[in-house]
A and B are shown apart, each in its own frame.
Chain A
Amino acid sequence: MKKFNMPLFISVILLSIFGIIMIYSSSYIWASFKYNNPYKYVINQGIFLVIGIFSMLYISKIDYHIYEKYSNKLLLICLILLILVLIPGVGTVRNGSRSWFGIGSFGIQPSEFTKLGLIIFTSKYLVNNDIKTFKNLFPILIIVFITFGLIMLQPDFGTGTIIVMSIMGLLFIGGMNMNFIAKGVIVGIVGIIGLILMAPYRLQRILSFLDPWSDPLGSGFQIIQSLYAIGPGGLLGMGFGNSIQKHFYLPEPQTDFIFSIISEEFGFMGVLIVSTLFLILIISGFIISKKSIDMFGKYLSYGITFQIAFQAILNLMVVVGLIPVTGVTLPFLSYGGSSLLITLCSIGIVLNISKNVY
C-alpha cells in the first residue's frame, strides 16, 4: 500500500496548529471575561484537535469503500439527528439557532455530520446514476432540498448554503447538464429572493455589506469591526498577541471572524501564508481526486475538498467584506469542536483515498 498524500497532511496539520494558537490569542480576553478562564476555549479546542488528529490518522487507515456500503444508513442517521435537534429539550439553542446537542460545555452540531454524510451519499449516487437526465438528477435534488429545509428550520443559513453548494459542486463534475445548471442558478436566485422576503433581516445583512458604515452599530457592526482589525494589521501585522480588536471590539473573535484577528496580528504576510496553506490543501485534494482509481473515491475526495474550499472562501469573503455576513466558520482555524473533528475525519478519508491512486 502506498503512503498517503504528504502535502495534504502537512498543510492540514499546519493549519490546525496555527488554528489552535490563534484561538488562544484571539479568545483569551473574551474567555477570561466570560468564564474567568483565559484557557477555556483553547483547552476545549485542543481536546477536539487531539481527538481529531488521532481520528484522522485512524480513519486514513480505514478503506473508504466502507462508506460506500453504509452511505444510505449514514445519511438516514444524519437526517434523524437533524429532526431530533429541532425538538426543544433535545436540541439546544446557541447563537439563535437550535442546532446543537449540548453535552456540558461541549456542543455537537448534527449539521456538521450531515455535511459529510450527504457528500458520501451523493458520491455513491453519482457512481450509480448518470445524472445527465433529469429523471436521475431529480431524486438527489430532492434529498438535498429536504436536508437544506431541515437545517433552515434551525435556522442555520450558513451551513445550509455550504451543504447545497458542495452537493452542487459534486453534481457539476458528476456530469450535470449545463441546462440544469443554468436553471438551477435561476432557481437559486429566486430561492434567495424568497428567503429574503421571508426574513427581512437577511436583506439588511446584504445591504450592510455594501456600506457597513450606513448602520455602524447594527447590521454593519461586525464587518466594520472586522475591517478595523484587518486594516491596522498592515503588511506585517501588529505582532502575535497584539490585536486590539479582540479586546471586546470584535465579539467572539475566535469564531467566524478569527481571520480578522490573524490579519491584525500577522498582517498581509499572515494572510498570504494562510491562503497558501488552504490552496495547497485544495490542490492536493483535487489531485488526489483526479488520480483516484475508482469513481467513488474520485467523487468523495473531490466533494470533501470542495466543501472545505467553498466554506473557506465563503468565510474569507465575508471577513474581508466582499459578501454579506453569513455566519460561516473558517475550517481548521475557527473555534468549534465538532466542526474541527468532522473536518479532520473527512481529511482522514481523503488521506485514505490518496493511498489508492494511480
Chain B
Amino acid sequence: MFTKNIHSRINIVLFVILLLFILIIFKVFYIQVIDYDNLYSKAEDLWSRNLPVEGDRGNIYDSTGVLIATNETRASLVIIPNQVTDKEETAKKLSEILNTNYEDMLKHVSKKTSIERVHPEGRRLNYEISSKISELNLPGVYLMKESKRYYPYDKMLSNSIGFVGVDNQGLSGLELTYDKYLTGSYGAIKYFSDAKGNRLKLNEIYVRPQSGMNITLTINFDIQSALERELNNAMDRYDADGAWGIVMNPNNGEILAISSRPNFAPSNYKDYTIEEINRNLPVWMTYEPGSTFKIITLSASLEEGIVDLYNDHFYDSGSIKVGGATIHCWKHGGHGDQTYLEVVQNSCNPGFVNLGLKLGKERLFKYIKNFGFGTKTGVDLNGEGSGIIFDVEHVGDLELATTAFGQGVSVTPIQQITAVSAAINGGILYKPYIVKSINEPETNTVVLENKPVKVRQVISNETSIKVRDALEKVVSLGTGRNAYIDGYRVGGKTGTAQKVSEGKYMVGNYIVSFMGFLPADNPKVIAYIAVDNAKGITQYGGTIAAPIAKNILLASIDALNIEDSDGGTEMRYTYLDKKYYTIPNVIGMEVKEARKALKNFKVEYSGTGNTVIYQSPSEGVRIKEGETVRLLVSE
C-alpha cells in the first residue's frame, strides 16, 4: 500500500518533469523558429562589423543632360585597431604617407573601438596616396570607396549650386537646399567578428550603398556658358565691382542661366570670403533698378488706359517739377516733343514722372505689388532678398514720381526679370524656378517635379502686346540699339541706377543694366544683365549691358533653336552704324558680275580663272556692310 503510494508520487514527479521539458522545448521552439528573424538580425548586428561604403551623391544636370556636378571616386582610410598587429609601425608608415602627425595616427590605430575612421586627414584620398597605403598591406588597415564632389565646369553656376563639406554634406546653394535628396546612404562591407573585434573566417556580406538622387535643372548649358563667358569678359574689360545676369523662359519661369561675379570654385571654397561664397547676387542683391523699372510704369499705364502710346504727346523740357523738387531728364536740355512711344524709346524721365502722376500712387503701387516687388519671388534658390518698396500711405508726389522711373525702390534682379517676363508674356506672373525635376538614380523615377507656377494675371494680353511693341522700338530705335540682332525682333530696356551708400547717392558709381528679350512678338527668352561700377567707360546700360545681353541672346538663339522672324522694326541707322546686307548667289557668275552683285562687301578671291565656283558666306546670309566675301574661281 505504501509502495503504491510512493509509485503514484513518483508518477506525479515524472509528470511534472515531462511538463517542464515540454515547456523548455516549446520555449526553444519559440526562440529558434518564431522569434528567429528578430534574434538573428539582432545577433547579426552584434557579430558583424560594417566597413562603411559611401553612396554617391546625386548628380546635377542641366536641362539638356550636361553634367554640372558629379563625383570622383576616392578612398577613405579605415582602421580596425584590434586587427593592427604593430601599432607603432603602422602609425609611423601611415603618418609618413599622409604627411600627418605620428602621435595622432598612433591614437587612431590604438583607439578602443571596433572601427576607426581617420578623419579628416584620411578622407577622400586620391589614387596616388591610397595606392601607397594599399601596397603596404598592413593588417587592420582598410581603404574604403568614397566619393568626392566634382564640378566639371569648375566655377560655372557656383553661386547657385553651392558647395559641399568634407563629409560630402551640402553647405550652401542647391547642394544645401536639396541635401536630403542628393545624399546617398551608406552601404557596407559586413564582416563577422568575435567579441574582441577579430575577424572571423566567415563570408563577407556586401550591402550596396544607395546613390543619392539626381537633380535636373532648368539651366541650359550653352546659355549658361555664354553668360559665364560674357560676365568674365565684362569684369575684365570694365574692371567692374561685380556683374550678374539671369536668363529665363518668360513663358513659364524656368531659369535658363544665372550667374554673378564674384563667383568661386566650389572645390576650393575655403579660399574665398564668406560673402563671395554665400551671396547669390541675382537673387540676393537689392538695389535701385533704374530705367528697367519703367516697364512696370508703362505696363500699368497701358493697362489702366491712361495713355495712348502712339498718339498722346509729351513735351520734355529737360526737367519736371514735382512736390517742390525738380527732376531732371538724363538728357540735358530734354527730348522736346515726343509721342509716349518715343518717351519709352528715349527712356525720358519726365515723361514717366508724368505717367506716374497720372496713375496716382494707389494704382501704380498696386501694379508694383502685383508684379511681385516687395515680396520674394519664391525661387528655389536660397538667400533670396525681398527688396524694399515705399509704403503706399507714406508716398508723396515726389516718391511717386521717382518710383515711376525706378528710383527710390529697391528690388532684386530675379524680381525684375520675373516682373518683366509677366509684362511681355501676355501678362502672367510666373514663379521662377531652377530645379526641373529630381529623379531616383536607378529607375529614373521622378521623385519631385517642378511645373510652372502661375502666380497671377497682372495685365491683359492686349496690354502685353503693346508693351512688347514699345520695348522692341527701344532696341530698334531707342536706347537699346546695342542689343539689336539682325534678322530677329528684339525687345529690351536699358537701366542705369546710381548706387546708394549710407543714404546718399554715390557719385560716378552706377549699376548699369539691360533687360532684353526675343522674339519681340512672341518672346521665347529674356535676359537681364547688370554690371556694377564699370570703369573706363560712360556708365550707361545701353553701352555696357546691352551688348552683353545681345551676345547672350545670340547664344540663346542657337541653344533654343529660335527661328528668325520678319516684320520687325528695322533698325534706324546712325552714321556710326553699318548696315546689314543679304549676300546674293554669285556662283556661276563671272568675276566682274560677281563683284558688281557684291558691291556692298569687300571681295577676296583665290584660284585662277573667271568663273566663281564657291562663295563664303553662302547665299542668304546677312553680314555687315564692308565685310569680306571670299570667292573661289576657276576656268
Task: Write out the residue numbers on chain B whose beta carbons fall within 8 Å of the beta carbon of A289.
Answer: 10
Per-residue interface assignment for chain B, residues 97 to 117, with 1 indicating a CB less than 8 Å from any chain A CB and 0 otherwise? 000000000000000000000
Query: At the interface, yes or no: A113 with Cβ under 8 Å from chain B?
Result: no
**Is B448 on the interface with A (CB-CB < 8 A)?**
no
- Residues in A with CB closer than 8 Å to B193 are 247
User: For the complex, is B29 an interface residue (Cβ under 8 Å from A)?
Assistant: yes
A282 to B20: give the CA distance in the assembly, Å.
13
Say whether B192 faces chain A, with CB atoms less than 8 Å apart: yes
Nearest residue in A to B2 (C-beta to C-beta)?
A175
B6:A175 contact, CB within 8 angstroms: yes
Instruction: Report B245 CB to chain A, min CB distance, Å.
Output: 61
| A328 at interface, CB cutoff 8 A | no
Q: Give chain A interface residues in 107-122, CB to chain B under 8 Å.
A: none
Residues of B within 8 Å of A247, CB to CB, are 193-195, 198, 200
A306 to B17, CA, bound (A): 9
Interface residues on B, range: 35 or more
Contact at A231–B13, with CB atoms within 8 Å? no
In the complex the two chains form, is B32's CB within 8 Å of A263's CB?
Answer: yes
Given A231-B39, A235-B33: A320 in contact with B6 (beta carbons within 8 A):
no
B23 within 8 A of A: yes
Question: Count of chain A residues with Cβ under 8 Å from any Cβ of B?
Answer: 43
Query: Quick one: CB contact mask for A78-109 with B, threshold 8 Å, 1 for yes?
Result: 00000000000000000000000000000000
- Is there a chain A Cβ closer than 8 Å to B31's Cβ? yes
Interface flags for A229-249 (1: CB within 8 Å of B; 0: not) read 111111100000000110111
Per-residue CB contact flags for chain A residues 290-303 toward chain B (1 = under 8 Å, else 0) read 10000000100010
Over the window 132-153 of chain A, the binary record of Cβ atoms lying under 8 Å from chain B Cβ atoms (1 yes, 0 no) is 0000000000000000000000
Assess whether A337 is interfacial by the CB under 8 Å rule: no
CA distance A313 to B31 in the complex (A): 17
A interface majority secondary structure = helix
Chain B 22-44 against A: per-residue CB contact (8 Å), 1 yes, 0 no? 01110111011101101110111
A322 to B20, CA, bound (A): 10
Cβ–Cβ < 8 Å partners of B202 in chain A:
244
> B246-274: which have CB < 8 Å to A?
none
Which one of B14, B23, B32, B192 contacts A322 once the chains associate, using CB atoms below 8 Å? B23
Q: How far is the CA of A172 from the CA of B13 in the complex (A)?
A: 9
Q: Count A/B pairs, Cβ under 8 Å.
A: 113
Contacts of A309 in B (CB 8 A): 17
Q: In this assembly, does B47 line the interface, its C-beta being within 8 Å of a C-beta of chain A? A: yes
B195, A248: Cβ atoms under 8 Å? yes
- The answer to whether B46 touches A228 (Cβ under 8 A) is yes
Q: Is the CB of A231 within 8 A of B40?
A: yes
A29 part of interface (Cβ distance < 8 Å): yes
A232 to B44, CA, bound (A): 9
Smallest beta-carbon distance B19→chain A, Å: 10
Q: Establish whether residues A228 and B39, one from each chain, have CB atoms under 8 Å apart when the complex forms.
A: yes
Please tell me if the beta carbons of B194 and A231 are within 8 angstroms of each other in the complex: no
Roughly how many angstroms separate A278 CA and B24 CA in the complex, as a whole number? 13
Is A244's CB under 8 angstroms from B200's CB? yes
- Contact indicator B17/A231 (Cβ below 8 Å): no
Contact between B28 and A320, CB atoms less than 8 A apart = yes
Tell me, yes or no, whether A286 is within 8 Å of chain B by CB: yes
Contact B47 A249 (CB under 8 A): yes
User: Is B24's CB under 8 angstroms from A275's CB?
Assistant: yes
List residues 223-281 of chain A with CB under 8 A from any CB of chain B.
227-235, 244-245, 247-249, 263, 267-268, 271-272, 275, 278-279
Cα–Cα distance between A209 and B273 once the two chains are bound (Å): 61
Considering the complex, give the chain B residue whose CB is closest to the CB of A315: B24
- Chain B residues within 8 Å of A231, by CB: 31-32, 35-36, 38-40, 42-43
State whether A232 and B39 are in contact (beta carbons under 8 Å apart), knowing that A317-B20, A320-B27 are contacts in the complex.
yes
Within residues 84 to 129 of chain B, which ones have a CB less than 8 A from any CB in chain A? none
Contact partners of A248 in chain B: CB under 8 A: 194-196
Across the interface, A282 reaches (CB within 8 A) one of B17, B31, B32, B192, namely: B17
Question: What is the interface of chain A, defined by CB distance below 8 A to chain B?
Answer: 29, 169, 172-175, 227-235, 244-245, 247-249, 263, 267-268, 271-272, 275, 278-279, 282-283, 286, 289-290, 298, 302, 306, 309, 313, 316-317, 320-322
15 additional A-B pairs beyond A248-B195, A271-B32, A298-B6, beta carbons within 8 Å, are A227-B39, A229-B43, A230-B28, A231-B31, A232-B36, A244-B43, A244-B194, A268-B28, A268-B33, A272-B25, A279-B18, A286-B14, A290-B7, A317-B23, A320-B24
- The 7 listed contacts between A and B (C-beta, < 8 Å) are A29-B194, A172-B9, A231-B35, A231-B43, A275-B21, A283-B14, A298-B6
